[in-house]
Structure 1
Amino acid sequence: MQNAHDLALLLARFQFAFTVGVHIIFPAFSIGLAAYLAVLEGLWLKTGRDVFLDLYRYWIKAFSIVFGMGVVSGLVMSYEFGTNWSLFSKKAGPITGVLLSYEVMTAFFLEAGFLGVMLFGMNKVGRGLHFAATCCVSVGTLISMTWILASNSWMQTPRGYTIDPATGRFLPDDWLAIIFNPSFPFRLLHMGLAAFLSVAFAVGATGAWHLLKARRKGVTASEPVRMMFSMAMWMAAVVAPLQVLAGDAHGLNTLEYQPAKIAAMEGDWDTEGRAPELLFGIPNMQTEHTDYAIKVPLLGSLILTHSLEGKVPGMKDFPRDQRPPSPIIFFSFRIMVGLAVLMVLVGVWSLWLRRRKTLFTSTLFHRVTLCMAPAGFIALLCGWVTTEVGRQPWTVYGLLRTTDSVSPIVLSSMEISMTAFVIVYVIVFGSGMGILLRLLGRAPEEGEHDTNASHPADILATGMHPKTIEASSEKGA
Structure 2
Amino acid sequence: MLQSSHDLALLLARFQFAFTVGVHIVFPAFSIGLAAYLAVLEGLWLRTGRSVYLDLYRYWVKAFSVVFAMGVVSGLVMAYEFGTNWAPFSRKAGPITGVLLSYEVMTAFFLEAGFLGVMLFGMNKVGRGLHFAATCLVSVGTLISMTWILASNSWMQTPQGYAIDPATGSFMPADWLAIIFNPSFPFRLAHMGLAAFLSVAFAVGATGAWHMLRARRLRAPVTEPVKVMFSMAMWMAAIVAPVQMLVGDAHGLNTLKYQPVKIAAMEGDWVSEGRAPELLFGIPNMKTEHTDYAIGIPLVGSLILTHSIDGKVPGMKDFPRDQRPPSPVVFFSFRIMIALAVLMAGLGFWSLYMRWRKRLYESAALHRAAVAMAPAGFIALLCGWVTTEVGRQPWTVYGLLRTTDSVSPIVLSNIELSLTAFVIVYVLVFGSGLGILMRILSRAPEVGEHDASETPAGEILGGRAQSAAVRAVTDDGV
> TM-score w.r.t. structure 2 length?
0.96
Q: Give the match for residue 140 of structure 2.
A: 139
Amino acid at match of 1:159: Q
Deviations 1:299-329 (A, max 9, x none): 0000000000100000000000000000000
1:37·1:134 contact (CA, 8 Å) conserved in 2? yes
> TM-score w.r.t. structure 1 length?
0.96
Matched-pair identity in %: 81
Question: How many residues were matched structurally?
Answer: 463
> In structure 1, what is the Cα distance between the partners aligned to 2:275 and 2:92?
42
| Residues 1:320 and 2:337 aligned together | no
Amino acid at match of 1:433: L
Q: Give the match for residue 418 of structure 2.
A: 417
Shift, 1:454, TM fit? 3.9
> In structure 1, what is the Cα distance between the partners aligned to 2:366 and 2:412?
50
Amino acid at match of 2:146: M
For the aligned residue pairs, the C-alpha RMSD in angstroms reads 1.0
Q: Give the match for residue 387 of structure 1.
A: 388
> In structure 1, what is the Cα distance between the partners aligned to 2:76 and 2:250?
32
User: In the TM superposition, what are the counterparts of 1:217-366 in structure 2 within 5 Å?
Assistant: 217-366=218-367
Amino acid at match of 1:216: R
Shift, 1:460, TM fit? 1.8
Q: Give the match for residue 57 of structure 2.
A: 56
Gaps of 5+ in 2: 465-478
Amino acid at match of 1:380: L
> In structure 2, what is the Cα distance between the partners aligned to 1:242 and 1:456?
39
1:282·1:292 contact (CA, 8 Å) conserved in 2? yes
1:284·1:290 contact (CA, 8 Å) conserved in 2? yes
> In structure 2, what is the Cα distance between the partners aligned to 1:221 and 1:368?
18
Amino acid at match of 1:277: E
Gaps of 5+ in 1: 464-477
Deviations 1:230-281 (A, max 9, x none): 0000000000000000000000000000000000000000000000000000
> In structure 2, what is the Cα distance between the partners aligned to 1:18 and 1:461?
28
Shift, 1:455, TM fit? 3.9
1:285·1:326 contact (CA, 8 Å) conserved in 2? yes
Q: Give the match for residue 473 of structure 2.
A: none
1:448·1:454 contact (CA, 8 Å) conserved in 2? no
User: In the TM superposition, what are the counterparts of 1:366-385 in structure 2 within 5 Å?
Assistant: 366-385=367-386
Q: Decide whether aligned partners of structure 1 residues 450 and 332 sit closer, same or farther in structure 2, where only a CA change above 3 A counts.
A: closer
Q: Give the match for residue 188 of structure 1.
A: 189
Shift, 1:459, TM fit? 3.0
> In structure 2, what is the Cα distance between the partners aligned to 1:237 and 1:365?
13
2:121·2:453 contact (CA, 8 Å) conserved in 1? no
| Residues 1:128 and 2:129 aligned together | yes
1:32·1:196 contact (CA, 8 Å) conserved in 2? yes
Amino acid at match of 1:287: T
> In structure 2, what is the Cα distance between the partners aligned to 1:74 and 1:251?
28
The DSSP-based 3-state class of the residue aligned with 1:428 is: helix
> In structure 2, what is the Cα distance between the partners aligned to 1:346 and 1:452?
36
2:120·2:453 contact (CA, 8 Å) conserved in 1? no
2:439·2:462 contact (CA, 8 Å) conserved in 1? no
Q: Decide whether aligned partners of structure 1 residues 452 and 273 sit closer, same or farther in structure 2, where only a CA change above 3 A counts.
A: closer
Q: Give the match for residue 94 of structure 1.
A: 95
| Residues 1:176 and 2:177 aligned together | yes
Q: Give the match for residue 435 of structure 1.
A: 436
> In structure 2, what is the Cα distance between the partners aligned to 1:124 and 1:457?
21
Shift, 1:458, TM fit? 2.0
Q: Give the match for residue 467 of structure 1.
A: none
